[in-house]
Structure 1
């Protein structure tokens, strides 16, 4: 069943009707409500106390059946906490059921076409629903967005900048003097390294046909990593891949509701849009029963809070001026913001639940990650969770009032792990980091590229790192099947410029490049059966300067699932680039800027 979302536009200019236009009767709002009630009753979970997540017009809903067998459809933050939400109901499934409910009476309409009013006139809400039963098509028509409703995201950019300058330029020198100067040293060193690497090498003039090979010796490669990173030996664990907001946030909200002891959330961006505020409200309610800590990057939150979402927020929504204040108001949440000396950031995204479960990957907390962007998180269980919790504790201590001193003592502490609900199948998982003085994520992937014999699959939103590009060119020259997925747009013009220039170089050297049809924020790679994925982009900040965390593993079943669930599906929906992309002078200016980012 096809469905779409369109906005009603009004104009003072006369509009000529289409040649084949026909009049259609508009059915009243109570008829729509009755139809919707029949449809949701038919697709609601049959078990009492069970619910499914549903999305309508970028609004998170929960469809559930209560203890009295009554069916309800409510906003997810209004659903009772005892409802167990599992599964996802997509808009096309709802539209298909509505159409089925109409099939018995479709002959009474104009060739099976219906137009319903919904009695909603607020901007951005669904005002009309057009259904063509015969063609199996539904179009939700939203009321026009009122540009006078909000020109502001609720935050004052000047005030944010002043606060950021104080925290990162003054406060960080007071409470974190040692690490601030250490970051300054490595910031200068890495900036110089990026400049000295210069332009990418064109590589060899030719390349070999693809090899028929079993790939590199994974056991030997893992032993090499043990020698390279003796303090980062693998932990046992298990990962499940949660691709896109539908999968991740549904699982996250249920995990919040199920949490019995603690929720520790670490993110680069905790936005102040309507979806982030809904997540904040869940955490605020939960904080009265269990410990809830939120650690977010001040610069990341500042950049998000001073810009409007790309899609209109619900009518009447008010943006909090400061998400940290909002989280702590009327709750027992303890929220901390990291400092950003020398424009460094904590780009890691990890969430630890009850000492036995973690989420890690590329998604921040905000509307675009829930509804709009292609992204990935991992649901992690097993002893590796203890390592991620220890990392959180170290970052939490460093962001506190005692700064470097607390950070020093936190390094000697251990993190508890609760084996409750531990999966039976565990395998080795290695944590890799970027931080001042350590470029493990870069070094490990360079080693993987050099050792690859069969194939290399990469998906990343930002590609500026010349050393990785050069090694990929050399790998392709050896006959390795190298494929790279980049987004059709990254929403940042100068980063798009770098992606375009890198694409042309890769095409010249026989590397297959694909453009994903929307914004993709995924950071994942497979090298002959060794996978590495997490928060790190292929840019200077992520690979050399920022705080980043990736997970790496070579379990054959886990790697095969990543290959099938992510790469094979994304290769299929992406457009392969076969001809060089036209570049302009501004693209090379953008590349120069992005090389330091």
Structure 2
């Protein structure tokens, strides 16, 4: 037991270094017309959260509230880190093979059955719409927030303390006077964001609260707030908003200025029976982060009941170490391996050797493989990792593009199949942090994603050549980013 504790302590320290490394920010130059948010009065300012204190509290608090899961997460994390180290550096180790039988084309009914046999969650009917860019999403989000009649459930990785974060904190506080409002955000992710200044200017008369969590619940607020603790500095990267249990939003955007004004990103909204599944997911997350702690794991979730012909079949995919779910990477890997015509990807961070290997193989068999990366990612170490991956892919015939601003959009199309959501193409998103994606094979939705996201972004982006990449210490960078 003592050796286990020492090993897990070392793993936690390593995870801390990796987590902090990814928060070296590069400024973004994108601006657009802005409307002034509600003014934040000086008396509402609270004491800031020290980052190291937050990290310490998250781990110690998790040990007290979640002793079983904290131990389980530590063991799983240490194994995953070791597996990544060996998988990425020993050429004799191979990625999992396709299931037996002829590879079905992504987008076909046979491919969806193939994913069923791979053990992925059942598809659930729903209606899906895209919201591209901050203007589209926040307009739709605010409309649902102000018109909700029964309940509001909101979960984000970062609930920022800038003018946009405060605007929606004020709206949530106001709605909580009328209907139940539950908010979940990641303790470590939000604390890290609170320590940064936005690259676009805040309104002159705006006074930033030091702690958005305290601001949400201070005074006579009726907002119910829970913050996800971070055992071993594992974070919950989910973005999920549910209104009246009838409409839900998920994707890559947080609540803050970056998502509203500075970054290129994507959210989707869904309606129908799939919202019941997402509501159950939110309820489980709420219980896990409450007084029940580990006991919430023993509460059985109700199965979603629905009519067979109701809506487009949507498959909810998770990365969740605690419940041993790595459905996102499994689905992506199978789709790339089965692709015959194209694999198009847009992602802000790409350091996964598993996905890189699959893309190289796809390019070698003649598939049109294209990747869009940000020209300058907001994290310096991940920008360097993107460059290493781009160099490797270009050498294998993959076409790589640089988006001129910060793209935080996460989307993949393989022939007639697509997935969008919160997961990046890195070890943290595919194996460690908690993530939420949705996949589908509906031809009109896949075509719309191509027409509204990929085609315009290829036009906006610049093709990258090997000579454009000047990397020093590439092997060291690759070894570090493989763990991120």
Give distance in 2, aligned partners of 1:59 and 1:457. 33
Q: 2:401 matched to which residue of 1?
A: 514
The within-5 A match list for 1:500-579 is 500-579=387-466
Give distance in 2, aligned partners of 1:200 and 1:377. 38
SS where residue 378 of structure 1 aligns? strand
Q: 2:316 matched to which residue of 1?
A: 431
Q: How far is 1:396 from its partner?
A: 0.7
Answer yes or no: is 1:481 the counterpart of 2:368: yes
Q: 1:316 to 1:200 in 2, by over 3 A?
A: farther
Contact 1:514 1:577 in 2 (8 A): yes
Q: 1:368 matched to which residue of 2?
A: 258
Give distance in 2, aligned partners of 1:221 and 1:289. 46
Contact 1:465 1:540 in 2 (8 A): yes
Contact 2:182 2:223 in 1 (8 A): yes
Per-residue CA deviations over 1:31-76 (Å, capped at 9, x if unaligned) read xxxxxxxxxxxxxxxxxxxxxxxxx96532xxxxxxxxxxxxxx56
Answer yes or no: is 1:294 the counterpart of 2:183: yes
| Structure 2 counterpart of 1:162, from 44, 53, 72 | 53
| Structure 2 counterpart of 1:251, from 140, 157, 160 | 140
Q: 1:188 to 1:569 in 2, by over 3 A?
A: same
The within-5 A match list for 1:229-308 is 229=119, 232-308=121-197
Contact 2:280 2:301 in 1 (8 A): no
Gaps of 5+ in 2: 1-30, 40-44, 92-103
Count of residues in correspondence between the two structures: 434
Contact 1:215 1:455 in 2 (8 A): no
| Structure 1 counterpart of 2:34, from 59, 62, 68 | 59
Q: How far is 1:174 from its partner?
A: 1.3
Q: 2:10 matched to which residue of 1?
A: none
Provide the aligned C-alpha RMSD in A. 2.3
Contact 1:154 1:306 in 2 (8 A): no
Task: Write 1 or 2 for the structure with the bigger share of strand.
Answer: 1
Q: 1:349 matched to which residue of 2?
A: 239
Give distance in 2, aligned partners of 1:478 and 1:485. 21
Q: How far is 1:156 from its partner?
A: 3.9
Q: How far is 1:579 from its partner?
A: 3.2
Contact 2:59 2:233 in 1 (8 A): no
Q: 1:443 matched to which residue of 2?
A: 330
Q: 1:496 to 1:336 in 2, by over 3 A?
A: same
Answer yes or no: is 1:582 the counterpart of 2:469: yes
In our comparison, the structure showing a higher alpha carbon Rg is: 1
Per-residue CA deviations over 1:502-537 (Å, capped at 9, x if unaligned) read 111111111011111100001100111111110000
Q: 2:224 matched to which residue of 1?
A: 334
Contact 2:239 2:422 in 1 (8 A): yes
SS where residue 288 of structure 1 aligns? coil
Give distance in 1, aligned partners of 2:75 and 2:55. 21
Q: 1:408 matched to which residue of 2?
A: 298
Q: How far is 1:412 from its partner?
A: 3.0
When normalised by structure 1's length, the TM-score is 0.70
Give distance in 2, aligned partners of 1:174 and 1:425. 44
The within-5 A match list for 1:89-168 is 156=48, 159-166=50-57, 168=58
Gaps of 5+ in 1: 1-55, 61-74, 79-152, 202-213
Q: 1:267 to 1:491 in 2, by over 3 A?
A: same
Answer yes or no: is 1:454 the counterpart of 2:454: no
Per-residue CA deviations over 1:116-143 (Å, capped at 9, x if unaligned) read xxxxxxxxxxxxxxxxxxxxxxxxxxxx
